[in-house]
Amino acid sequence: MLACTAAHYPGMQSTKQAKIYIQDAWPEIDGIHVCLPCKEKFCIKECPENALAWDAHVVLSPDRCTQCGVCVDVCPVGGVRVHPQTGYPNICDTCNGIFSCAKTCPTGAISRR
């Protein structure tokens, strides 16, 4: 997750801004949460302000977003969460195709599949 944060916020050492996150609430939930992206694109379809679009990944138009949280609620895999500082949806953009998380994962647990 530090690789994700570093790719988007150079110099920052916190994982709170990462666009992927790990939730460990065993046995209910255990794993990495990231936009997969789903075929249905629920977050885009359900956004009441049309603030989300598709361009190889989900793209946010902050000027349209009202921070209502619908995108967070409708994501079936928990891949959308609220950015802790901006309040806007924080959604994986694959680091513009670089996949920083997969490139730097020391165990290979994250891949581009």
The range of the structural domain enclosing residue 74 comes to 2-104
The per-residue pLDDT for range 31-63, each reduced to its tens digit, is 667 787 789 999 999 999 999 999 988 999 999
Amino acid at 103: K
What pTM, to 2 d.p., does this model score? 0.75
Is pLDDT above 70 for 6? no
Rounded CA gap, 34 and 13, in Å?
20
- The CATH number of the domain holding residue 62 is 3.30.70.20
Rounded CA gap, 57 and 109, in Å?
21
Secondary structure (3-state) at 86: coil
Into how many domains does the chain fold?
1
Mean pLDDT of the 19-26 span: 58
pLDDT category at 107 given cuts 50, 70, 90 is confident
Tokens found for residue 50: 């049309």
On whether residue 90 sits in a domain, the answer given is yes
